[in-house]
Amino acid sequence: MKPSVPLTFRRIKSLIDRATAIVAGVIGLGVPKVLFFDLGETLVTQNIEDNLVTQRALERISRELPVATAPAELYRLYRKGYGRNQPVRSSHNVEIPISAWMRELLRFALHREPTTDIVERAVGIVVESRAANAAEYPDAQEALEELHEKYRIGVISNVSSHDVAVEILRKVKFDHYIDDLITSALTGIRKPDPGIFLYALSRMKVTPAQAVHVGDHPRNDVEGANLIGLTTVLIERKGSEASANGVRPSIKLHSLANLPRLVPKMFA
């Protein structure tokens, strides 16, 4: 009879690691089940400058208001509110939903509390404008078509309106590739906070070892996903964010066209 081996910490850890490896081999834990994508500047872009989209939307909103308000004044109030809200969003990784900042904007413009109907109409105009000016990246369409045959696809996006993301995906005809859409508007949490990534994993019922996140922003996409152990892909498009110091993606790409053949190799 062999003498018993003392259950030291190292021995316990070894047994756990071995059991994990066995389970992983059985259920395919090391094989990607889900690919998550950022939306803006990863899958889609705007066909005109972002501020111009906002200005055109506010011009339409000005015609809907019960009190005459110049579009330039609405834009001034919008920029003032953005300057007040954005530091909160970026510093604390919390989302301020479009209905909240639109109500605040109209309150200042009308000098009284806006009705719910006016707020909803104004929000609808913004949603419509942002979706109408969205344009897909050609390499994104090709990659999604191929990847969707093998993996489930999720989108994780920082956006103040869930409907904006829904309508953009519908407009560029990517919606049929997407199995789940997680937005900061839906969760109240913005990337790079780990919470939004963990929520996305729980919705798709996968572990970090079974998922990849692809995005263009070193901090929001790579740093956030790295924190919870996701495999990360940084897509470096022309004019995208410069790489942040110390943030290391699993891989860098200049085009999504190469992604389908590279994903299996990441887990080889």
Q: Residues 98, 123: contact at Cβ < 8 Å?
A: yes
**Average confidence (pLDDT) over 94-116:** 97
| Whether domain 28-46+135-266 has CATH 3.40.50.1000 | yes
Is pLDDT of 30 > 60? no
Q: Which of the pair, 14 or 246, is modelled with greater confidence?
A: 246
- At residue 102, the pLDDT reads 98
* Per-residue pLDDT at 31: 65
Report yes or no on whether pTM surpasses 0.95: no
> Do the beta carbons of residue 34 and residue 154 sit within 8 Å?
yes
> Of the candidates 147, 202, 207, 209, which has an alpha carbon nearest to the alpha carbon of residue 178?
147
- pLDDT band of residue 32 (cuts 50, 70, 90) is confident
Q: For all residues of the chain together, what is the average pLDDT?
A: 88
* pLDDT score recorded for residue 268: 65
What distances in angstroms separate CA 73 from CA 57, 86, 175, one per listed residue? 13, 20, 36
Report the SS3 class of residue 180. Answer: strand
pLDDT in tens, 164-183: 999 999 999 999 999 999 99
Report DSSP letters for 85-122, one per residue. Answer: HHHHHHHH-B---HHHHHHHHHHHHHTSPPPHHHHHHH
The pLDDT of 99-108, averaged and rounded, is 97
pLDDT beyond 60 at 26: no
Domain range list for the chain: 28-46+135-266, 50-132
Where are the strands (E) in 102-255, listed by range? 134-136, 152-157, 180-183, 211-215, 231-235, 251-253
Tell me the pLDDT band of 100, cut-offs 50, 70 and 90: very high
Residue that is written with structure tokens 């919470």 in the block: 195
The percent of residues in the chain predicted with pLDDT above 70, rounded, is: 85
Q: How far apart are CA 185 and CA 164, in angstroms?
A: 10
Amino acid making up residue 229: G
Average pLDDT value for residue range 134-155: 96
pLDDT at 155 over 90: yes
